[in-house]
Chain A
Amino acid sequence: MKTRPLAGSVALAAAVALTATACGGSGDPAASGGPEKVTVWIMKDSVTDAFLDRFRTSFEAEHEDIDLDIQIQEWDGIGEKVTAALASKDAPDVIEVGNTQIAQYAASGGVRDLSDRTAELNGADWLPGLAEPGKVDGKQYGIPWYAANRVVIYHKDLFARAGVTTPPRTQAEWLTVTARLNQGRTQGIYLPGQNWYTLSGFVWEEGGDLAVKEGSTWKGALDTAQARAGMDFYRQLQALGKGPKDSDEAKPPQAEVFAKGEVAQIIAVPGGAKIVEEINPALKGKLGFFPIPGKTAGKPGAVFTGGSDLIVPEASTHPEAAYEVVKALAGEKWQTDMARTMSYVPNRTSLARVIQDDAGTAAMAAGAAQGRATPNSPQWAAVEATNPIKQYMTAVLTGTDPAQAAAAASQSITKTLGS
């Protein structure tokens, strides 16, 4: 790979000069006989097939010289796969990367620096939870695509039957209401023991954090009094249902559990309601949403902002065409379409108005104001890979001494972030 440093050093010049040489004439399709094929990696279930079809048709109509090859990627082993792609000679041209994963790739040197395009993409207006992880040393590698945060999805009938007329507005109310719902066959809330995104929100709400930066080193912070208060609230809430203590929302799929109709609430992104309705159409119209309550009324609880950025690998052989795809996907037209289709928060705060008329996204947008991200360290993805936080949660929920478990988890995070 001796050519790579050279290619990297002349990256910007190449963006202009490359067109006629290396990548088969992106500017002059007629000369090379045919459009360039741009490969785009989208994560499984990020967007619907219908959305992708609309996008492909419209984009190809507007760019006759570009042929889109959209490939859906699975979550299992995706870290290895993106690594393999970035290090290859012929990488896909655009890759969707989760906002908690992007920092490590941005720091690796395998991703194209798109800083000079931020103005054109209205970068000043981006959601910080998406823009910041994609930025390393002042350079923008990841372009924000969409965000989503968790809300409470509730079963209206069960709320009515328990005499609950208004959704809870504070954590204390939430516990009372959930306890009242948790009667007989009904579970007040189905909260699996390892929903660490939800725990993160509770920890932030108490003023704690997952890890804090001291000077240049990160330190796990689950053992602070605030973080432990967050965990304690999680424990109280989790006990008001039959969620498994040793598993996350995927095992078993919480949408399936909820779809059986005996669970009053789950914590999920608003899009989750669509899956519930798909499994059990009888629940259509019976699902409501409210933001995760905070400590005080009037201000929703802090939540984890999940979402994705788009990157263009250095090894892409069609960087200009790739940028066109990024520009379209991150632009107003498709942002609006996606927000409506998927109940996502658009990548720019000024576009938030397009989702105001949807109950789920309205609840989400209310919470999004309190949105937070995981610690912005390239090593954070490594923490998630083995996830001591999940293990810590299960330990506390199954009766291990919370102080001891918190200290062990913090230590593990510190070690991973420092390696």
Chain B
Amino acid sequence: MTPRVLRRLPLNTAAALVFVLAVFPVYWMVLTAFRPTPDIQSETPRFLPVSVTLEHFRNAVAADGFWTFWRNSLLVTAGCVVLALVVALAAAFAVARMNWRGRRGFILMVFIAQVAPWEALLIPMYVIARDADLLDRLATLSLIYFMVTLPFTIVTLRSFLAAVPAELEEAAQVDGCTRTAAFRRVTLPLLAPGLLATSLFGFITAWNEFAFANMLIIKNQDDRTLPVWLSSFSNVFGTDWGATMAASTLFALPVLVLFLVLQGRVAAGMTGGAVKG
């Protein structure tokens, strides 16, 4: 036993190091969220929880409209993710399974679309939304986030689709299924992990976005999203770190939970498909 442990020691040490480095900032965030305010600004950092308080969480949740903003973010994000998945799935299918004129050009455009300078499009987007009376609407945000995530969603979904052998579908078609039915019964279940992995990416992007949410939701305060609200802890005298970290933890929670629950599937989903890209 000992020689084996010894042999694996460098590897496991490296793994532990990677784990610690990856997790520490997140750990620090959660730790701070639970820490009494005086301890947060202490001269010697303490790496383990000594005393725990829920005060910051209470402050964060009690803050005006927390649930409203939470719901807004969820609505915007869900809208964006669902829309992106449906649209991207169709496009990815066309690219991965069919030969058609313009296919290469389409792929190229999808790739180039990822280069889009979104921060710079803030102003034209604002002007367009204003002139079309689309300001102050959550749906506008959903549409924009949909477009931000669409190119990446197509690229990854297409890789996943390519990993599912087309022969399976063809076999089902020979057995008398329509093409749609073949896709639904054969390919879609195999694609599920890929869909999840991709939608999580879209979820993070939309969940995080600040600049558009700040500039396109103007007068309807109740339509603000979480990232915009998260900045509300900074004030003239500074930032209430405890509450900010508590809010950040609550903010990160849905994504983290989703990821952790699904991580096995996500990793499996990432497998293979892209290799055949």
A residues apposed to B, CB below 8 Å: 1, 39, 44-45, 71, 74-77, 80-81, 83-85, 87-92, 249-257, 260, 268-269, 272, 275, 279
Contacts and interface: CB of A to CB of B under 8 A. Distances in A.
B271 to A, nearest CB: 40
A44 B210 CA distance: 18
Classify chain B: how many residues form its interface, as a range: 20 to 34
Contacts of A85: 218-219
Nearest to A1: B131
6 contacts: A1-B131, A74-B231, A81-B214, A91-B219, A268-B237, A275-B237
A115 B84 CA distance: 52
A414 to B, nearest CB: 26
B257 interface: no
- A-B pairs, top 9 by smallest CB distance, nearest first, are A253-B238, A76-B231, A250-B238, A77-B214, A45-B235, A84-B215, A255-B237, A74-B232, A71-B221
Nearest to B131: A1
Interface string B22-51: 000000000000000110010000000000
Interface string B212-243: 00111011010000001001101111111100
Contacts of A44: 232, 235-236
A253 B130 contact: no
B162 to A, nearest CB: 41
A87 B126 contact: yes
B38 to A, nearest CB: 7
Contacts of A76: 214, 231, 234
A76 B232 CA distance: 8
B130 A87 contact: yes
Given A80-B122, A253-B240, A254-B238, 8 more contacts: A74-B232, A77-B210, A77-B211, A88-B218, A250-B239, A252-B238, A268-B237, A279-B37
Secondary structure type dominating chain A contacts: loop
B148 interface: no
A80 B210 CA distance: 12
Interface in B59-101: none
Given A45-B236, A254-B238, A279-B37, A74 B219 contact: no
Contact of B237 (A89, A92, A272): A272
B167 interface: no
Contacts of A254: 237-238
B245 interface: no
Interface of B: 37-38, 41, 122, 126-127, 130-131, 133, 135-136, 210-211, 214-216, 218-219, 221, 228, 231-232, 234-241
Contact of B239 (A81, A84, A251): A251
A65 B136 CA distance: 25
A256 B236 CA distance: 13
Contacts of B127: 87
A92 B241 CA distance: 31
A80 B214 contact: yes
B216 to A, nearest CB: 7
B228 A74 contact: yes
A256 B41 contact: yes
Contacts of A87: 126-127, 130
Nearest to B210: A77
Given A87-B126, A88-B135, A253 B214 contact: no
A295 to B, nearest CB: 29
A91 B37 CA distance: 39
Contacts of B38: 260
Nearest to A242: B43
Contacts of B238: 249-256
Nearest to A89: B130
Contacts of B239: 250-253
Contacts of A71: 221
A255 B38 CA distance: 12
Which of B122, B131, B218, B232 has the most chain A CB within a 10 Å cutoff?
B218
A252 B237 contact: no
Contacts of B122: 80
A38 to B, nearest CB: 12
B126 A84 contact: yes
A361 to B, nearest CB: 17
B226 to A, nearest CB: 13
A306 B228 CA distance: 25
Nearest to B122: A80
A268 B237 CA distance: 9
Contacts of B232: 44, 74
Given A74-B228, A88-B130, A91-B219, A252 B235 contact: no
B218 to A, nearest CB: 5
Given A89-B130, A89-B133, A256-B37, A77 B231 contact: yes
A246 to B, nearest CB: 15
B241 A252 contact: yes
Contact of A260 (B41, B133, B228, B236): B41
A75 B234 contact: yes
B262 to A, nearest CB: 32
A252 B215 contact: no
Given A75-B234, A256-B41, A272-B237, A92 B219 contact: yes
B234 A81 contact: no
Contacts of B215: 77, 80-81, 83-84
A272 B235 CA distance: 12
Nearest to A247: B238
Contacts of A39: 219
Contact of B234 (A90, A250, A255, A268): A250
Contacts of B126: 84, 87
Contacts of A275: 237
A84 B218 contact: yes
Contacts of B211: 77, 80
Contacts of B135: 84, 88-90
Which of B38, B126, B130, B237 has the most chain A CB within a 10 Å cutoff?
B237
A90 B219 CA distance: 8
Given A39-B219, A80-B214, A252 B133 contact: no
Nearest to B43: A242
Nearest to A259: B38
Nearest to A93: B219
